[in-house]
Copies of this chain bind each other. A is one copy, B any other.
Amino acid sequence: MTHVLFTFSVKENLISKLQTEFHDVEFTFSTIGDVIALRKAEIIVSYGEDISKETLDLAPALKWLMIASAGLEKMPLIEIAERNIFMTNVKGIHKTPMTESVMAHLLALKRAIPWIYSQQEKQEWSKRSGSTELFGSTAIVLGPGAIGSEIGRLLQAFGVRTIGCNRSGNSAPHMNEVIPFDQLNKALPEADVIISVLPSTHETRGLLTYDHFELMKEQAIFMNFGRGDLVKEKDLLKAIKERQIAYAVLDVFEEEPLHENHPFWKMEGVIISPHVSSHSSEYVPRALEIFAHNLREWLNDGTSFQNVIDAEKGY
């Protein structure tokens, strides 16, 4: 019998679904501290942050590590590679919720949703919404990869011209044009919206500086949904204070959680999304779909696994 240890809790209906399909598999829903389950486990399903070198030592039967997240930064990859443990993750799972969050924030600002909510709070009927439109805008998408292209697809559906911006300048789906990082300055003055979904690499850290914000339109909306180190906080603070741009919608920060006295909280034009843009009630169901697919392959000696990770390379 195949033993699977889940180190996070799963809703009853999703457990039933797994047990109904895989009746020859024993599923244990517990924690990484459950040494008995750990010793038997051939497969561990975890968010990743509880997997250490010590975990591996206590799991001699472990052959497959299913990580229900996208980041692997803190995993003991060397040991995993040495033990030749098969590893999969849920890459791509953030695409839909992140894209919907970007569109939600953007449309909210264009269609005066903050004003509408605050008028309701005051029980005040007024028609002075000051609404504008997304239609006809130009957007720069920093990082037109899987998530960035999906954002581009929906922006285009709303009649937005999309300019992708990446290292190479090579074309990307759902972008009217793509420019390399070193031509960003030329495009900034035309952009109504600048969205970053860039990861943190040596090329993206500090990619944006105060000068870039000076080039943006006064009515521009800047959205950082990638990593907090894209721009130094002091540069961003200065640009917002001087009203170089109209809005900064921030899902990521140099330091998280944001300190309770941080100036961002109360600054006009700043929207703080506490790194929740990828959250979704559909996260676990979707992760379990990927897992179920791979488990079918595993049990049938198949080879069509999804999201296989090379532990040596780390991706």
Using CB atoms and an 8 Å cutoff, list the residues of chain A in contact with chain B. Answer: 96-97, 100-101, 103-105, 107-108, 110-114, 116-117, 119-120, 123-127, 129-136, 153-154, 157-159, 256-258, 260-261, 265-266, 271-277, 279-282
Residue of B nearest to A257 (CB): B125
A116 touching B271, Cβ below 8 Å: yes
In the bound complex, CA of A281 to CA of B123 (Å): 24
Flag if B133 contacts A265 (CB, 8 Å): no
Chain B neighbourhood of A132, CB < 8 A: 280-282
- 8 more contacts with CB within 8 A, not counting A125-B256, A127-B276, are A96-B135, A100-B110, A113-B113, A116-B274, A120-B271, A123-B265, A124-B260, A125-B258
Q: Is the CB of A134 within 8 A of B272?
A: no
CA distance A107 to B276 in the complex (A): 14
6 A–B pairs (Cβ distance < 8 Å), ordered by A = A97-B111, A103-B107, A105-B111, A131-B281, A133-B282, A135-B282
Q: A116 to chain B: which residues have CB within 8 Å?
A: 271-274, 276
**A113-B113, A132-B281, A274-B125 are known contacts. Are A100 and B104 too (CB-CB below 8 A)?**
no
In contact, A133 and B96 (Cβ under 8 angstroms): yes
Task: Please indicate the chain B residues that have their CB under 8 angstroms from the CB of A133 in the complex.
Answer: 96-97, 100, 280-282
Check A100–B282 contact: CB distance below 8 A: no
CA distance A256 to B159 in the complex (A): 32
Alpha-carbon gap, A265 to B110, bound state (A): 23
Which of B127, B134, B277 has a CB less than 8 Å from the CB of A274?
Answer: B127
A129: chain B residues within 8 A (beta carbon): 274, 276, 279
Q: Which of A257, A271, A279 has the most C-beta atoms of chain B within 10 angstroms of its own C-beta? A: A279
User: Assuming A133-B282, A274-B126, A276-B131, is B104 touching A108 (CB within 8 A)?
Assistant: yes
Inter-chain contacts of A97 with B (CB < 8 A): 111, 131, 133
| A159 contact set on B, CB distance < 8 A | 96
Query: Hey, which chain B residues are within 8 Å of A276, CB to CB?
Result: 112, 116, 127, 129, 131
Q: Which residues of B contact A110 (CB under 8 A)?
A: 100, 104
Q: With A104-B110, A113-B104, A281-B132 in contact, do A275 and B158 touch (Cβ < 8 Å)?
A: no
B119 near A111 with CB under 8 A, answer: no
**A119 to B105 alpha-carbon distance, docked (Å):** 15
Whole-angstrom distance between the Cβ of A152 and the nearest chain B Cβ: 12
Minimum C-beta distance from A300 to chain B (A): 28
Question: Which of chain B's residues have a CB closer than 8 A to the CB of A154?
Answer: 157-158
B280 and A100 contacting across the interface, CB-CB below 8 Å: no
Least distance between A60 CB and chain B CB atoms (Å): 35
Q: Rank and list the top 9 A-B pairs by shortest CB-CB distance, nearest first.
A: A104-B107, A125-B257, A104-B111, A129-B276, A157-B157, A123-B265, A132-B281, A131-B279, A120-B272
